[in-house]
Structures are given as structure tokens and as C-alpha cells.
Amino acid sequence: MASESFFAPPRTVVLVGMMGAGKTSIGRRLAARLGVPFVDADAEIEQAAGSSIADIFERHGEEAFRDGERRVIARLLDGPVHVMATGGGAFLDEGTRELIRSRAISVWLRASLDTLAARLEKSRTPRPLLDKEGDLRTALARLIDERYPVYQKAQITVETGDGPHDPVVDSVYDALQVFLEEENPRNSARQ
Ligand code: S3P
């Protein structure tokens, strides 16, 4: 059960995890709950580049996209405390990961292959790393194998499934409180 007490995060909270894990939906609700702005790093990258992510991949390739992504996330972390949803590959880039781990609180939204496949089958968002692959489940299984050992380096892990978003938001909120209490017991977030 989520505590009713409100606490203000001392640093930006960054959601990481696979495409389809719910980073944007959970992030928006978590930001409202914490009383801070929500920022979608992918949308910021598109705005900075003046083109869609699919176009950036197509015209410049993944490496250029990752460089731009790292710069945009660094700039966002310089700004006021907020909740940030990152694209699924951001935390895989060592430079971006170190930025996030040192300057923010990282939260991995962990989802099963079944949950991700069910969500992504319904999604219309173009996803360059999946759209060219033949079978969605095969592509996802490969990415899960590659990425889960790295996502595990996030400071907090919260399980997310097929159900409604609100209980996941509660779990992230509670996990943040515990994390901050452990980090600084004297400034206990619980009232
Ligand atoms: C990517 C995930 C996408 C987007 C880009 C690459 C990835 O974001 O950044 O297509 O490498 O997993 P979402 O996780 O929001 O779909």
C-alpha cells in the first residue's frame, strides 16, 4: 500500500526499461503524484533534432541517435527535478547510464516477455529496432537477453505486468521512499 504522505524527490527520477514497459504512462502518473514535471526524453530528442526518432535512425543510424540521446539527457538532468521517461536503449549506453546513475535516481520498470509482446502488438508507435525484425517475440527475447543484465544496474527495480498502471505507480512511489530513507536515514521521507 502506498503511503499517503507526500515527499519531494531530491533528484530527478529516471525510468528505464524496455519498449512497452510503460515508462511514459507510469512516468506521467508518478510525476503528478510527486508534484514535479514529467519529461519524455524521446520527445525532447525529436524536438531538438526537428525530426522523428524513426527518421534519425534511418538517416543517421543508431550511433548518432545514441550520441544525441546522451546530450539531451545530460541537458535535462541539468534542469529542475522532474520525472523522466527514457527510450529503451538509453541506459544501455555507458555514458548515459553513468550520467543517470550519478545525477538522478534510476528506476527499472521490469516486464515479462508476454507483457511486452502484448503491449507492443497493440502499439502504433514506430520502433526502428523492432519494425525491421520479422517476429516480434523473437526480437524481444533477444533484446531481453542483452539488456536485462544492464537494466539491473538501476538503483531501484519495480515489476510491471498486464494490469492497471496505478498499482505500479504506488510501487515506484513506495520504493523511492525506501531508497531515499536508506540513502539518508536522518532525512526520513516518512512522516
Ligand atoms: C529504443 C526505444 C524507443 C526509442 C528508440 C530506441 C530502444 O523508446 O528510444 O526507438 O533502443 O529500445 P521507447 O522505449 O519509449 O519505445
pLDDT at 191: 45
pLDDT at 6: 73
pLDDT at 185: 84
Q: Which CATH superfamily is domain 9-170 in?
A: P-loop containing nucleotide triphosphate hydrolases (3.40.50.300)
pLDDT at 162: 86
Task: Give the Å distance between the CA of 48 and the centre of ligand 1.
Answer: 16
> pTM of this prediction?
0.94
- Closest ligand 1 atom, residue 45 Cα: 9
CA atoms within 13 Å, Cβ hemisphere of 69: 29
Strand partners, 105: 13
pLDDT at 129: 86
Task: Give the Å distance between the CA of 47 and the centre of ligand 1.
Answer: 16
The pick from 14, 15, 18, 19 for probing ligand 1's pocket by mutation, whose C-beta has the most ligand atoms within 8 angstroms, reads: 19
Q: What is the DSSP string of the chain?
A: ---S-----SS-EEEE--TTS-HHHHHHHHHHHHTS-EEEHHHHHHHHHTS-HHHHHHHH-HHHHHHHHHHHHHHHHHSSS-EEE--TTGGGSHHHHHHHHHHSEEEEEE--HHHHHHHHHH--S--HHHHTSS-HHHHHHHHHHHHHHHHTTSSEEEE--SS-SHHHHHHHHHHHHHHHHHH-GGG-S--
| Domain edges within the chain | 9-170
Instruction: Say what percent of the chain tops pLDDT 70.
Output: 94
The pick from 23, 108, 129 for probing ligand 1's pocket by mutation, whose C-beta has the most ligand atoms within 8 angstroms, reads: 129
What pLDDT, in 10s, does the model give residues 150-175? 999 999 999 999 889 999 999 999 99
Task: Give the Å distance between the CA of 127 and the centre of ligand 1.
Answer: 6
Task: Give the Å distance between the CA of 114 and the centre of ligand 1.
Answer: 18
In this structure, the residue with its CA closest to atom 12 of ligand 1 is 88
pLDDT at 124: 83
Task: Give the Å distance between the CA of 19 and the centre of ligand 1.
Answer: 6
The pocket around ligand 1, CB under 6 angstroms, is made up of: 19, 42, 53, 87-89, 127-129
- Closest ligand 1 atom, residue 41 Cα: 9
Task: Give the Å distance between the CA of 62 and the centre of ligand 1.
Answer: 11
Q: In the chain, which stretches have pLDDT less than 70? A: 1-5, 187-191
